[in-house]
Structure 1
Amino acid sequence: MRTAFSRSIRATAVLASGLQTALPALAGVLVLPLLVLLLPFAPSVAKPVRGLARLERERFALRAVRDPATWHALLWMVGHGLGGTFLGLLGIALWPAIVASATIPAYWWLFPPESFTGMFVVIETWPEALTLPLLQAALYAALVVWLVPLIARGQRGLARSLLGPNETELLAQQVERLTETRAEALESHGAELRRIERDLHDGVQAQLVAVSVRLGLAARAMSAEPDNPVAGLVKDARTGIEDSLGALRGIIRGIYPPILADRGLAGAVHALAGGQRIPVTVRVPDDLPRPPAAIEAAAYFVVAESLTNVTKHSAAGHAEVVVEGDGHSLRVTVRDDGQGGADAERGSGLSGIRRRVAALDGTARIDSPVNAGTTIEVLLPCE
């Protein structure tokens, strides 16, 4: 019984809190015909209805939707305004009615005979005073225990059915959550790549350089003994370490180019352009917002791969790199005046650009007419 009354108390609180939206909804019902007539000509008249519906969603902790259905809100206003007001007041009034009915036997005799009416029952005799009020109190208590929670669930169900998100909105919310989760995963992945790059650059590479220096000193010390077989082994070991250092530097640049961390995207692109065999013009605004690490790395590799293709395959005499961004997206354009005819399906590196960009929800456009140069335009989202 204690659990039942606890549930009834919570349900009564729900109905009582519903009055804050039920009473304004009741006022809206009075002007509903005017709202319906004005809605096609002045959609802004629906804003108060939507605001009232938003309060109801918050009351029942429903997930907010971006574009609430106006007509559903109007239907809810009618049902909740008419029924919610009455039911809310009823749920509140039942509690003092129980107390008032149960205490009638204690004071009914103070009133003149045949003139006392207590809580809808007429009391004229002591047997009536000891039975009818208590039966009435028991009836009210039964309504509190069973009817009030049922009404509260019905009110909640009405709000959910008319104001809750539909399947399309739920799917959009799920896509948004997945997008945010993937963005966090990409950011975490980028941070992990930078950590690996630092460990390799500052740890393994430094140790290999130190070993190479020691082997160089040992080889110099043995130079006076040309016939010493150990000298040849030391020389071979040093050569092998230098080859390993070259391979390690390539791996480091492939993981996360150190120049990105040191000079940012603008400096890294200028460095790439300066290392080409043909003149490359670079246009990057001074106030370019710095994109997230994963986007910055992708843009760098797009420029690097594109310029490599220009050098190897285009027979171009000049190339241009343009980087633009507004904090919401980053646009990278690489164009040349070569022979064109590039095809991403032939495995020329362009397919790799598309895959890398697609992994970040970006788009890549490749325009390469024969004898008219090649233009690669990439758009990457930064939010």
Structure 2
Amino acid sequence: MRTAIKRSADATRVLFGGLGTAVPAILGLAFTPLLLLAIVVYPGALAPVRWLAEAERKRVRPLLGHDVPRPYRQLDGGHWRRVRTALTDPAAWRDLAWLFGHSIAGLFVGVTAVALWPSIPYSFTMPLWWQLLPPGTVTAVIEVRTWPEALTWPFVQTAGYVALLWWLIPLAARGQVRFAGTLLRPTERARLEQQVERLTETRTEALESHGAELRRIERDLHDGVQAQLVSVAVRLGLAERALRAEPTAALSLLQDARSGIEDSLGHLRGVIRGIYPPILADRGLGGAVHALAGGQRIPVSVSIPDDLPRPPAPVEAAAYFVVAESLTNVTKHSTAGHAEVTVDGDGAQLRIVVRDDGQGGADPDSGSGLVGIRRRVAALDGSAHITSPADGGTTIEVRLPCG
């Protein structure tokens, strides 16, 4: 009994919440012909309908248990191209279909669900006070005139109300949520178009990131290793000349050349570490993250489960880069006194969270560090969310698919 009452109460709450979009939908339905005509002058005329549909997506998202993506095509180009895009966008017509259905059905089932709760005790107690009403008074669907009617019809009506509340209202709530989730999500074709567009963007960002990485390696080799090797070659040339005349001076030059070669090797190892850190191959992601945390000038706590499945090499390298770049930003810009790194996953997805207690206010769209994190993550079809309120610290949460 408690389960049935709770189910009906939850369904009523859902339908009552639907009134928040059903009532504006009725008003929007009255102005829909004008909005369609206004598209010719202003392609974004359906913005109020989109706003209302977006409000419904947010409402049904926790009820469906998953996100409902925005399905709209981008309005760009010249005026008539935008008009054509607005008129041929399937999402716009699906919004209007939802507007028509929800405005009528949503209002009816919402009001009905709310009205059933007081109607049950009202009908059930009718035999106690029906004589106080004027003769022939109609209550909902029955009319009580005699005691036999008063002792039968109210209970039949009560049973009908209970049946509606127990069976129809939960069914209507599920139908309302599914109706919105079906019409307001992208079609299969639109979903594929969005995926192609997203892949094009991530490919461009990956190419830009790859190009920047190649330029960095080239710069490091040119300014570091190459310059050091040229210096070694000059020293060896001088040592060759001095070897015949002054062997002691030649020995000093050879020692300098050997030191230069060692410096070049060290610099070259640094460049190699920038391509793929050897510590990942030796100790895995957990050991590499602990090593990064231990090398910071502020305390950094690390939380990584011992049984974390090892991700593929590209994902592991990207995760290492995210942690390294995030901790570098913490050290340089946040004035934080403590940071924490959390890495977990289930084999299908790897989650990395880096938090600090610094000054916050980081702009995700400025600076090479945060932009580089988003680009590298996007190249692997991952997601990066950066939260940095003023005086509230910064949180970087990254999710990388491991498939």
* Range class of TM-score, shorter chain: 0.3 to 0.5
Larger radius of gyration: 1
Per chain length, whose mean CA-contact separation is higher, i.e. which structure has more relative contact order (CA < 8 Å, sep 6+)?
A: 2
Query: Structure 2 length normalisation: TM-score?
Result: 0.45
Query: Structure 1 length normalisation: TM-score?
Result: 0.48
